[in-house]
Amino acid sequence: MTSTTRTHLDQLENQSIFIFREAYHAFENIAMPWSMGKDSNVLIWLARKSFFGKVPFPVLHIDTTYEFPEMLKFREWATKHYNLNLIVKINTDARERGIGYETHDPVTVTHELKTVALQQVLAEYKWDALITGIRRDEDPTRAKERYFSARNVQFEWDYKDQPPEFWEQFVTSAAKGEHVRVQPLLDWTEVDIWRYIQRENIPIPQMYFAINGKRFLSLGCSPITQPIKSTAATIEEIIAELEATKTTERAGRAQDHHERNAMQKLRAKGFL
Amino acid sequence: MTDPSPQSAIQNPKSSAAVPLKVVFVGHVDHGKSTLIGRILHDTDSLPEGKIDMVKKACAAEGMEFEFAFVLDALLEEQKQNVTIDTTQIPFRTARRNYVIIDAPGHKEFLKNMITGASRADAAILVIAANEGVREQSRRHAYLLGLLGIRQILVVVNKMDLANYSEKRFGEIESEYKNFLVDLSLEARAFIPASARQGENVASRSEKIAWYDGPTLLEALDLLEVRKADVDLPLRFCVQDVYRFGERRIVAGRIETGTLRVGDELVFSPANKSSMIASIERWNAPGMGWPSPEIRLESH
């Protein structure tokens, strides 16, 4: 058998594994943020494929304290079954100052409880690379990302002057205090993720499947993440729904729509 | 669960499981690349619901005229200066197959971003504005396409509305640019007169350009082919890393060309030492036992 019969999913999987191994070889001190969402779980799956069943770096959950209870149960289950080195980080300082969805706008809360929390934990562990699960098709600013994308000490993304990236030559070093975002899922689309979850039988939280006529497309903080109307209760039905619909995946995520170019502003300041 | 084979994907072109053709849009700054892409996405009904309305509203708020380009030029700076800064990838689909469009900036300052985008493409659309004609980046981008090994090239002579849909003007640009490509040992599959802003010869045939009997842009795109793996060439395997499991050594890497099987003798460069492949390892996950019923919630 030659490789000429490789499917699109095989190609995506191969490219992602290639990126994982490049990152693992190049960086000394890696962590992988993990939200327990579908893409995040595909990422863990690909890490295990890349390193023969083990995830050889810590997995980081930025706990906003607004997590869905099912997600926390999933976190517990997966940590045990995958034998993960889990680090949980909460921005307790912001919560003590009263930052929360009850009183503040979603961009402010997301920045404080996700981005600032990430800055705090990065300062503590001094990781030089973070492996993220972002995809180009999620958002127009993510569409402009590189596989290896540097962030400065302030976490800023210099999107106006990104380095060239071709022939698999990547930015594989970070100056002191800076870090590189490694993004193995950049080429995947939402449907690719679902087909791969189906093919590989990857465990995911059940909130993606319809109960009582509603399901979640994307999972974030509970006060600002809304389900959509859907009867799709299996992966086949979700894929069929995606092929027929034109609703965007992050439509139910309030922080993206708070103001014009909200995602660009969040991401320039360090949001994934 | 079986993955659809490439065969079944071809028989079912609506399936999103098929391998997409990656096509990069290049050419001189302001010759209308992003507008052309916006037009394709609009005319093939590939944009998410409400996207056009959202961009129109945002333009009105800023006192700008609506541009299809803003669908891709997502950065505030790109919209304010009306120029693409960095490369973008976006999927779309025709009745025949799946595509990934790669938008590349045309300004010479952003050449590194153009190369970043173009290096991943199977094919290229080179856009030349009919009113301005062949310019510096029209030539430089073709040279870079040749360097990157992209051989499938379509040339769109855009903004034909600004040249009164003139056959003569189109002919001048076609012959000038054809001669230039010959010098680079390149050949365009087609020259297509079009207007992205007016939607002429992009997804549907133009009545205003009745003198042209070649394909529309989408028809020409559907005739291009996905780059195939070079399995007939000698093996080139780039070593990424060596993983040690006890006594075993696993050489991790990727096949760039050729094929590889157990028993093959390999020569390692640069030491010129040789060795034999003992086994080919691939890790497959065992079943995990999730979802467990007790974690399934009653309602959302």
Nearest CA in chain A to B51: A248
Q: Is B192 a domain residue?
A: yes
What percent of chain B has a predicted confidence (pLDDT) above 90? 45
Query: Are both B41 and B157 inside the same structural domain?
Result: yes
Q: At what angle do helices A190-200 and A8-26 cross, to 10 degrees?
A: 90
**Contact in structure between A81 and A51 (CB atoms under 8 Å):** no
Q: Is B1 a domain residue?
A: no
Q: Does A51 contact B at CB distance below 8 Å? A: yes
Tens of pLDDT, residue by residue over A218-235, are: 888 999 899 989 999 999
We report the CATH number of the domain holding residue B107 as 3.40.50.300
Q: HSE of A117 in the Cβ direction (CA atoms, 13 Å)? A: 24
- Partnered with residue B100 across adjacent β-strands are B22, B91
Q: Does A213 contact B at CB distance below 8 Å? A: no
Residue A49: which pLDDT band, with cuts at 50, 70 and 90? Answer: very high
- Partnered with residue B123 across adjacent β-strands are B23, B152
Q: Which residues of A touch B228 (CB under 8 A)?
A: 4
Residue in B18, B86, B288 closest to A81 by CB = B288
Q: Does A243 contact B at CB distance below 8 Å? A: yes
What are the angstrom distances between the C-alpha of B236 and each of B215, B230, B239, B256, B262?
39, 10, 10, 5, 16
Q: Looking at this protein, which amino acid is placed at residue A189?
A: T
Query: Are both B34 and B86 inside the same structural domain?
Result: yes
Query: Are both B183 and B59 inside the same structural domain?
Result: yes
Check residue A5 and give its pLDDT.
Answer: 58
Tens of pLDDT, residue by residue over A4-38, are: 457 899 999 999 999 999 999 999 999 999 999 99
Query: Are both B212 and B255 inside the same structural domain?
Result: no
Residue A257: which pLDDT band, with cuts at 50, 70 and 90? Answer: low
Q: Is B293 a domain residue?
A: no
Judged by CB atoms closer than 8 Å, whether chains meet at A3 and B300 is answered as no
CA distance A54 to A61: 18
Residue in A9, A163, A164 closest to B3 by CB = A9
Q: Looking at this protein, which amino acid is placed at residue A29?
A: N
Query: Are both B113 and B157 inside the same structural domain?
Result: yes
A179-182/A129-131 β-pairing:
parallel
Q: Is B229 a domain residue?
A: no
**Structural domains in chain B (count):** 2
Mean pLDDT across A35-57: 95
Query: Are both B172 and B245 inside the same structural domain?
Result: no
For residues B249, B250, B251, B256, the Cα torsion angle rounded to the nearest 10 degrees is: 160
CA distance B139 to B214: 24
* Block residue for tokens 């962590």: A31
Reference B18, options B27, B32, B7; nearest CA is: B7
Q: Give the minimum alpha-carbon distance from B34 to chain A in angstroms, rounded to a whole number.
A: 13
Residue in B4, B48, B76 closest to A261 by CB = B76
CA distance A190 to A188: 7
Q: At what angle do helices B136-147 and B167-183 cross, to 10 degrees?
A: 40
Reference A48, options A184, A198, A147; nearest CA is: A184
Strand ranges for B109-247 from DSSP E: 123-129, 152-158, 188-193, 236-245
Q: Is B288 a domain residue?
A: no
Q: Give the minimum alpha-carbon distance from A104 to chain B in angstroms, rounded to a whole number.
A: 24
Is the pLDDT at A41 greater than 90? The verdict is yes
**Contact in structure between B32 and B159 (CB atoms under 8 Å):** yes
Residue in B241, B297, B300 closest to A21 by CB = B241
**Contact in structure between A159 and A141 (CB atoms under 8 Å):** yes
Q: Is B227 a domain residue?
A: no
Residues 2-21 of A with CB under 8 A from B: 2-9, 11, 14, 18, 21
Tens of pLDDT, residue by residue over A81-109, are: 999 999 999 999 999 999 999 999 998 99
Query: Are both B104 and B130 inside the same structural domain?
Result: yes
Q: Which residues contact A160 (CB under 8 A, 6 or more apart)?
A: B75, B77, B85, B86
CA distance B68 to B32: 10
Check residue A76 and give its pLDDT.
Answer: 95
CA distance B9 to B14: 8
Which structural domain range is residue B267 located in? 236-276
* Spans in chain B with pLDDT lower than 70: 1-16, 73-86, 285-300
Determine the distance from the C-alpha atom of residue B218 to the mean position of all C-alpha atoms in its chain, rounded to a whole number.
14
Check residue B15 and give its pLDDT.
Answer: 56
Tens of pLDDT, residue by residue over B129-181, are: 999 999 999 999 999 999 999 999 999 999 999 999 999 999 999 999 999 99
CA distance B201 to B291: 51
Query: Are both B209 and B245 inside the same structural domain?
Result: no
Q: Give the minimum alpha-carbon distance from B54 to chain A in angstroms, rounded to a whole number.
A: 9
Q: Quick one: tokens of B100? A: 């990934």
Q: What is the mean pLDDT of chain B?
A: 83
Q: Give the burial string for A233-266 (b: 16+ CB within 10 Å, else e).
A: eebeebbebbeeeebbbbebbbbbebeebbbbbb
Is the pLDDT at A245 greater than 90? The verdict is no
Q: Is B298 a domain residue?
A: no
Judged by CB atoms closer than 8 Å, whether chains meet at B17 and A195 is answered as yes
Query: Are both B242 and B214 inside the same structural domain?
Result: no
Domains of chain A with bracketed CATH: 3-189 (3.40.50.620)
Check residue B295 and give its pLDDT.
Answer: 39
Check residue B288 and give its pLDDT.
Answer: 55
Check residue A269 and give its pLDDT.
Answer: 72
Reference B127, options B198, B31, B192, B205; nearest CA is: B31
Residue A63: which pLDDT band, with cuts at 50, 70 and 90? Answer: very high
SS3 B130: coil
Query: Are both B68 and B148 inside the same structural domain?
Result: yes
Is the pLDDT at A134 greater than 60? The verdict is yes
- The conformation of residue B178, written as its DSSP 8-state character, comes to H
Tens of pLDDT, residue by residue over A137-192, are: 887 788 888 999 999 988 888 888 888 898 888 988 888 889 999 999 999 999 99
Q: Give the minimum alpha-carbon distance from B60 to chain A in angstroms, rounded to a whole number.
A: 12
Query: Are both B113 and B91 inside the same structural domain?
Result: yes
Query: Are both B215 and B262 inside the same structural domain?
Result: no
Q: Which residues of A touch B8 (CB under 8 A)?
A: none
Q: Which residues contact A29 (CB under 8 A, 6 or more apart)?
A: A125, A126, A127, A128, A129
What are the angstrom distances between the C-alpha of A220 and each of A45, A62, A63, A169, B227?
20, 11, 11, 33, 38
Reduced 3-state DSSP string for chain A: CCHHHCCHHHHHHHHHHHHHHHHHHHCCCEEEECCCCHHHHHHHHHHHHHCCCCCCCCEEEECCCCCCHHHHHHHHHHHHHCCCCEEEECCHHHHHCCCCCCCCCHHHHHHHHHHHHHHHHHHHHCCCEEECCCCHHHCCCHHHCCCEEEECCCCCCCHHHCCCCCCCCCCCCCCCCCEEEECCCCCCCHHHHHHHHHHHCCCCCHHHCCECCEECCCCCCHHHECCEECCCCCHHHHHHHHHHCCCCHHHHEHHHHCCCCHHHHHHHCCCC
CA distance B178 to A227: 54
Q: Which residues of A touch B148 (CB under 8 A)?
A: 166
What percent of chain A has a predicted confidence (pLDDT) above 90? 65
Reference B101, options B118, B81, B80, B78; nearest CA is: B118
